[in-house]
Structure 1
Amino acid sequence: MSNDRHGISVGIERSGSKFYMTFVAVGKLTHEDYLYMVPMLESAIAGVEEPEINVLADISELDGWELRAAWDDLKLGVAHGKSFEKIAIVGEGRLQEWMAKMTDWFTPYDAKFFESKKEAREWLND
């Protein structure tokens, strides 16, 4: 069994008058990580009619996905993509910036890459 730290944490933050969800992804994500995270997300948006969720996603410590976890991520995006309005992706390096651009191209919400959480929060508050 590996002692490598990995997983997803989900939270809610407020900046000014706006609330947004936060995701922090660490390490190489597994199917089990999604089994834990997806019910939390679905619980958070349950009962909200026509949700327009802004998200701050910190992937600066993300090392990738196992194949099954990548499939879980795709299914999550398909099932709930219309619930999201904007996703600010905070990361490091060209590969993570490229991943954010791919997200923007293939999803119904606005996604933008940032190297700073401060800039990401400012964009979400516009």
Structure 2
Amino acid sequence: MIEFLDTKKENLIAVEIRGKVSKEDIQKFHPLIQHILNTNEKVEFYIELHDFKGYDLEGFWEGLKIDSSHISDYGNMAIVGGKKWHEWAAEATDFFTDSEVKHFDLEERASAKKWIGM
């Protein structure tokens, strides 16, 4: 499940993710990404993971489609989560994109929000 968080930064998509992510969850991102791209800005992300269980198969494929079509449109990303693999995922994302991607532990969420400008 994805819960969108309020932010005053117009090119930032901020979310809390819990449990397993579905295709319907991922499809909620696309109009937000398109809206930001219409302002000629890079899309930035603040992603906070709580008891994240990954994606169902359709959600995984939908995420790949959106990311592959917009990967060059992404700016900075703050990934907040308490698991070691969350840190590895942030490092892998940083490696494959021109974006700056940083991992923060859950206790560091205030620092993550400050870094991303939330």
**TM-score of the alignment, normalized to the shorter chain, above 0.5:** yes
User: Runs in 1 of length 4+ with deviation above 6 angstroms?
Assistant: none
Helix, strand or coil: the match of 1:13? coil
Q: Secondary structure at the match of 2:7?
A: strand
Q: Does 1:47 align with 2:41?
A: no
Larger-gyration structure (1/2): 1
Alignment of 1:9 onto 2:9: no
User: Runs of 5+ in structure 2 lacking a partner?
Assistant: none
Higher strand share: 1
> What is the DSSP-based 3-state SS (H/G/I as helix, E as strand, rest coil) of the residue aligned with 1:89?
strand
- The residue that corresponds to 1:61 in the other structure is 51
Is the alpha carbon distance of 1:32 and 1:102 closer, same or farther for their aligned partners in structure 2, counting shifts above 3 Å?
Answer: same
Alpha-carbon contact 2:93-2:101 (below 8 Å) kept? yes
What letter corresponds to residue 60 of structure 1 in structure 2? H
- TM-score of the two chains, using structure 2 as the length reference: 0.80
Taking the aligned partners of 2:46 and 2:72, their CA distance within structure 1 comes to 16
Q: Which of 22, 33, 45 pairs up with 1:30?
A: 22
Distance 1:43 1:9 in 2: 19
After TM superposition, give the deviation of residue 91 of structure 1 in Å: 0.4
| Ranges in structure 1 where 5+ consecutive residues have no aligned partner | 1-6
Percent identity reads: 25
C-alpha change, 1:26 and 1:40, in structure 2 (3 Å) is farther
> 2: distance between equivalents of 1:28 and 1:122?
27
Please give the root-mean-square deviation of Cα atoms over the aligned residues, in Å.
2.0
Q: Equivalents in 2 of 1:38, 1:79: separation in Å?
A: 13
